[in-house]
Amino acid sequence: MRVTTDATVRSGQDLKVTRSRRNVAWTGIGALVVAVVLALFPYLVYSGTTAIMVQGLIVLTLASMWNLLAGYAGLVSVGQQAFFGLGAYFVLIPAMHGLSPFAGLFVAAAGAGVVAFPLWWLISRLRTGYFAIATWVMAAAIMLFIEQIQSIGGGTGMPLPGFAGMDPTLLAAYTYWAALAVAVLAIGTVYFLLRSRLGLVLTAIRDDETAARSSGVKVGLARLLVFVVAAAGCGAAGGVLAIDQLQVVPGTSGGVFSVLWTAEMAFAVIIGGLGTIEGPIIGTAVYMILQQTLQSYNAWYLIILGLVAIAIALFARRGLWGLLDERFNIRLFPVGYYLWPPGQTRRRQRAKTTAAVG
């Protein structure tokens, strides 16, 4: 990247630019090992555990997408349940015509992504706060529209066909693998998108939008891309939910279009750490622990999650991962650049506070 040459030219000294302050080869291998171990879970644990993990993986996928939107592109959407719900329907509709629901996951991602284009054109006219409510209105309108179509269940929903006669244990394992694959793909996509040119562009926009715009950065295009990718990811997650529940129910309370889906993804991101790839993972873990512990107390887990999210947003803006990072300087998924001043090596960096880009 140009950053390296620029820095070297300016100082004339031996500057070095790396992705991280530490060697990250082992984290890559670690991530791979974790993914393989997780993939073996259906052979290792009870199906009750994998069923809970499917929920967690859905939230993880959603959280990674919301993090891309809000943490990197500054787009606070509270209407992601629109794409989540559409994804569920994009699995249901082909399944009614004979397509396997697992193949339908591709339709869900692609379909939600395509729908995102015209919606972006509508709501991108509004900024920040009004953008947030506009996404909410958009989700409400999409739900009302879907509820009008009686052939896909109208306002009451529909069972998902396509699994008649399938062994429940096998189905549970396939569902788990599908959820895991979607979550890994989601995190991977976010990671590689942010390491690409887009990551640099988004950082520039976040730091100073006007400056980025005047340097020729296509701000609108970058945001559109993020919006579409996030829609596709949420769509795939909605598809996984349809397969997991074996039905699709619309409706704002308890259905696929409930704003609580967005609340869950947003809270997971904020608690874990907005604007880091690790944040949503930690946040989802916290979310699942709270949800499983407090599940017999109805809505209390959401109340507590909400209060924790508010407190973290006010007092620890970088979330739990931010607190860890401050202490230990760790990045499992480095997407920025680290500038090494002359003479400083990996060994001596811990005492210094130097400019970290991104």
Strand partners, 16: 340
Q: Backbone phi, then psi, for 306, in 5-degree steps?
A: -60, -45
Q: How far is the CB of 354 from other proteins (least distance, A)?
A: 25
User: Considering the complex, what minimum distance in angstroms separates the CB of residue 313 from other proteins?
Assistant: 4
Residue type, 112: A
Residues of this chain, 27-86, that bind other proteins according to CB under 8 A? 70, 74, 76, 78
Report the nearest approach of other proteins to the CB of residue 93 (Å): 20
Q: Does the protein bind other proteins through residue 286 (CB under 8 A)?
A: no
The token duo for 321 is: 């991962």
- For other proteins, the closer of residues 7 and 263 by Cβ is 263
Q: What CA–CA distances, in Å, run from 115 to 32, 106, 139?
A: 33, 14, 12
Contact between 335 and other proteins by CB under 8 A: the answer reads no
Scan for tokens 């429940």, then name that residue: 168
Residue among 281, 226, 276 nearest 63 (CA): 281
Neighbours of 19 (CB within 10 A): 16
State the burial class of residue 13 (Cβ atoms within 10 Å of its Cβ: 0-12, 13-18, 19+).
Answer: exposed
Residue 263, interface with other proteins (CB under 8 A)? yes
By the rule CB under 8 A, 296 interacts with other proteins: no
By CB under 8 A, tell whether 230 contacts other proteins: no
Contact 158, 101 (CB under 8 A): no
- Choices 6-14, 50-58, 138-146, 172-180 (CB under 8 A): range interacting with other proteins: 138-146
Q: How far is the CB of 56 from other proteins (least distance, A)?
A: 19
**Contact region for other proteins (CB under 8 A) — 51-59, 232-240, 262-270, 326-334?**
262-270
Q: Within a 13 Å sphere around the CA of 40, how many CA atoms are in the beta-carbon half?
A: 6
Which C-beta is closer to other proteins: that of 26 or that of 117? 117
Tell me the CA distances in angstroms from 135 to 77, 79, 83, 108, 181, one per residue in order.
6, 4, 11, 19, 28
- Site residues (vs other proteins, CB under 8 A): 70, 74, 76, 78, 122-123, 125-130, 132-134, 136-137, 140-141, 144-145, 147-148, 252-253, 259-260, 263, 266-267, 270, 274, 298-300, 302-303, 306-307, 309-310, 313-314, 317
